[in-house]
Amino acid sequence: MAEFDLVIRNARVVRPASAAPERLDVAVKDGKFVAIEPSIDAERGAEVLDADGKHLFPGVVDVHQHWGIYNTLSDDADTESRASAQGGVTTGITYIRTGAYYMNRTGPYREVFPDILAAAEGRSYVDYAFHVAPILKEHIDEIPDLIGDFGVPSFKVFMFYGSHGLHGRSSDQSSFLMIPGDQSYDLAHFEFVMRGIEKARRDPRFAADAEHISLSLHCETAEIMRAYTKLVEQEGKLTGLEAYSASRPPHSEGLAITIASYLAHETELPKINLLHLTSRKAIEAAMLMQQTFPHIDFRREVTVGHLLADFTSANLGGKVNPPLRSREDVEALWEHVLAGNFSWVTSDHACCRDETKFGDPREDVFLAKSGFGGTEYLLPGLVSEGRKRGLSYPQIAQLVAKNPAERFGLAGKGDVVVGYDADFCLLDDTVDYTVHAEDSLSSQEYTPFEGFQLTAKVTDTYVRGTAALRDEKIVGAPQGKFVRRSGQA
């Protein structure tokens, strides 16, 4: 009988703590890494995978996805987990909320969340979890139940939702969020969400979870965007993604970051995640707030989309919130990535099919829906662009695996370490190819990255030692599991 279930030979193993990739063999047993050595006899493995010199990265932990926003959650759990595996992702965390889109319903999470779990169960090819947005007043009271009963220690606030349209123009947000007439989604609500989370952090029942209980914020200022949207549309000088960027200017991010940071200080909530920062003004505001409030454990996120594309290089499918910015802002983001000022890189994957994405006329950016898929390009895109700029492979592993896994309580994931889940992918960095939407495993028929050149590709992805992607093709049945990150098992 074989000693190991799987032996991976001839791999260049990439580990966040290493100075460089190492030529090593890796053994897997019962879904865990059990040996990482210079040479492991192939006969010791029931199955042998020859990496043929490819880089073995820890499975990517994509902590910002939106399964179920435009399609049913059960459909996205299937198709978009395939796209995730294509990008080397072995664990994805989806932001969900009540209101329009997603489950298209309101009510307490004790009723909604079990249906969310049921919709995804048995459908995903990668492991998955959820972040939850407290939308209603009663959701704040449910925070302890979400942590303890449902294993969800991470929460979200969408700072512009209270008085600006999701896709550009203002709309009736009380109907959009399905909020009762005597409630509002505003700065006061955000403060009370923070107080509710901090109260839970201090609850003795969650002492073991306190380090992983955090609040993520989408930082844009509704009042600024509402005024600038009107200006941009009235002037009519700009079109496409450049117009959309101007309608949601970078200083609206900076202002929201400042407000969110002071509220965190006021409420004594020390675990804050500033999501998808898109511009020099945004990241500089975030760094200023870190200096101003050194007692707050800020984490700063950037997406692969905002690192790869600008508002002139992407097509209209690149409409997203916050917007794609100028090439100058893209270069500023890279400066801060290389300086170590971003905590992780993610995808903000939100599959929006063609018939849903575009309005009539198709070229009107303000009629298009916000968000697009991109998890399949997360690791390939970051390697392709990052190595040209001097970003090392261990640094990339830190950004896409170890850091997000540690922040969000994904124990035993995010690194190639004995005893950890055998989540990994093989990456070929000797290729040179053009991105075409038809090659994606997502159900989205277009990509804003159409025609981009990449020089790295994931060929194989394994989740807990079992193949989800082999030779660039999905294999086997869905094996992904819901991952509890807090509370009692």
Is residue 276 included in any domain, yes or no?
Answer: yes
Same domain for 266 and 160: yes
Same domain for 167 and 19: no
Local confidence pLDDT in tens for the 489 residues of the chain: 899 999 999 999 999 989 999 999 999 999 999 999 999 999 999 999 999 999 999 999 999 999 999 999 999 999 999 999 999 999 999 999 999 999 999 999 999 999 999 999 999 999 999 999 999 999 999 999 999 999 999 999 999 887 776 776 655 566 789 999 899 999 999 999 999 999 999 999 999 999 999 999 999 999 999 999 999 999 999 999 999 999 999 999 999 999 999 999 999 999 999 999 999 999 999 999 999 999 999 999 999 999 999 999 999 999 999 999 999 999 999 999 999 999 999 999 999 999 999 999 999 999 999 999 999 999 999 999 999 999 999 999 999 999 999 999 999 999 999 999 999 999 999 999 999 999 999 999 999 999 999 999 999 999 999 999 999 999 999 999 999 999 964
Say what the pTM is. Answer: 0.97
Same domain for 44 and 159: no
Dist CA 125 CA 350 (whole Å)? 17
Same domain for 314 and 371: yes
Same domain for 174 and 144: yes
Do residues 247 and 229 lie in contact, with contact meaning Cβ atoms separated by under 8 Å? yes
Instruction: Kindly report the CATH number assigned to the domain that includes residue 34.
Output: 2.30.40.10
Same domain for 366 and 302: yes
Is residue 25 included in any domain, yes or no?
Answer: yes
Same domain for 322 and 246: yes
Is residue 230 included in any domain, yes or no?
Answer: yes
Is residue 231 included in any domain, yes or no?
Answer: yes
Same domain for 75 and 43: no
Same domain for 166 and 40: no
Is residue 463 included in any domain, yes or no?
Answer: no
Same domain for 159 and 46: no
Same domain for 270 and 212: yes
Domain count, the chain: 2
Is residue 359 included in any domain, yes or no?
Answer: yes
Instruction: Kindly report the CATH number assigned to the domain that includes residue 181.
Output: 3.20.20.140
Is residue 421 included in any domain, yes or no?
Answer: no
Q: The tokens 């910002």 sit on which residue?
A: 64
The parent domain of residue 29 ranges over: 4-50
